[in-house]
Amino acid sequence: EVQLVESGGGLVQPGQSLRLSCTGFGFTFGDFGMSWVRQAPGKGLERVAIIRSKAYGGTTEYAASVKGRFAISRDDSKSIAYLQMNSLKIEDTAVYYCTRWIHNSGIPYDYWGQGTLVTVSS
């Protein structure tokens, strides 16, 4: 059974850092692109960062709102994707979801994790 499990969320003060992890189960992790999508309280969905599979260069992309502060990475040997979040702002408060896609399949995010809550507050 395919599963994505996020961890690492919590309460931090503005300007601090946090690292989220997403562990994949039940599929060949390295074959998939991985993405972090966030949802602020009562708001819609925002794609924060993506990392392509190694076969597609392992390249990354970021939303303008987090570029230069967040970094996505992956360790395929452990089936984990990371989101390093630095210089956190109050507006980064959200549930962060991990999701996957397979390149050139025409199918976008078919599995999502349950999400991890990040609260940035003084």
Partner 1 sequence: DIVMTQSPDSLAVSLGERATINCKSSQSVLSSSNNKNYLAWYQQKPGQPPNLLIYWASTRESGVPDRFSGSGSGTDFTLTISSLQAEDVAVYYCQQYYNSAWTFGQGTKVELK
Q: What is the contact surface with partner 1 in residues (CB under 8 A)?
A: 44-47, 61, 97, 99, 101, 106-110, 112-115
Cβ 44 to partner 1 shortest distance, Å? 5
Nearer to partner 1, 27 or 109 (CB): 109
Q: Which two tokens stand for residue 1?
A: 């059974």
Residues whose CB is less than 8 angstroms from the CB of residue 66 and which lie 6 or more positions away in sequence, other chains included: 48, 49, 85, 92
Nearer to partner 1, 15 or 70 (CB): 70
Cβ 81 to partner 1 shortest distance, Å? 15
Cβ 11 to partner 1 shortest distance, Å? 20
Give one DSSP letter per residue of 52-96, joined into a string. --GGGTT-EEE-TTTTTTEEEEEETTTTEEEEEE-S--GGG-EEE
Q: Sheet containing 3-7: give its strands across.
A: 3-7, 18-25, 80-85, 70-75
Cβ 13 to partner 1 shortest distance, Å? 27
Nearer to partner 1, 70 or 101 (CB): 101
Nearer to partner 1, 13 or 67 (CB): 67
Distance of CA 32 to the CA centre of its chain: 13
